[in-house]
Homo-oligomer: A and B are copies of this chain.
Amino acid sequence: MDKKKHIAETALFSGLNDQQHEELAKIAIEKKCRKKQMIFTNDDEGLGFYIVISGQVRIFRISPDGKEQIIHVIGEGEPFGEVAVFSNGNYPAYADALRDSILLFFPRDRFIELVKMDSSLSMKMLADLSGRLRELVSKVEELSLKDVPARLATYLLLQSEQNDNSDIVHLEISKSQLANLLGTIPETLSRIMRRMVSDDIIAFTKARSIRILSHERLNDLAFGELRLSRM
């Protein structure tokens, strides 16, 4: 595998120069994991961070009675586990693979050496962590201040936006995992989708493909200006 090429293609490191990519590739270790394989838990010491080269990883927490809350879904080219690199201690959550995945692992000590020597790399990492914080602030808002239909609407709009405001949203994760991401259970998600179909806001073209019938009404739903009909 051409580690340097993959590193250069990530959003995180793409603005760095060839020499920097070379240095990063030197310390990066390729790791493969199978679907459902645990990558780290919150009992594990934070020995480094990862970038997904192929596949998909979720970062999540588990409650004592086994319920899961997904914090992030990490797609190709994206980093995860950075927090443990820059603050002593364990990883703050669990990470496992939603699909068979190939990862690059950056050992903490060696990576920190690079960061200390290279201010453009440290600026990249500061921007990365700040972006993560923005996401989490929004997630806290949604979990506290929005009901589940509004959360789903927000998610669908965001997926559409990442696809040039396309009418078709292809779910990149299963509905059960989507429920875990939205802070609800699969039963509730299923019911809400049915109500959105009944209200002509969305339609299902295939199992995991949703057509948005009205961006405007979906937007109103996301911002609390519309409620779903009861069934």
Contacts and interface: CB of A to CB of B under 8 A. Distances in A.
A116 interface: yes
Given A69-B144, A87-B134, A93-B137, A64 B122 contact: no
Identify whether the interface residues of A are mostly helix, strand, loop, or mixed.
Answer: helix
* Copies of this chain in the oligomer: 2
Contact of A139 (B119, B129, B140): B140
Contacts of A69: 140-141, 144-145
Interface residues of A, number: 46
A133 B87 CA distance: 10
Contacts of A71: 137, 140
Contacts of A137: 61, 71, 83, 92-93, 136
Given A93-B137, A144-B143, A145-B69, A127 B86 contact: yes
Nearest to A69: B144
10 contacts: A62-B145, A63-B145, A64-B223, A69-B140, A69-B145, A86-B129, A87-B127, A92-B134, A117-B119, A136-B136
Given A86-B130, A133-B136, A136-B137, 7 more contacts: A61-B141, A62-B145, A83-B134, A92-B134, A115-B122, A129-B130, A139-B140
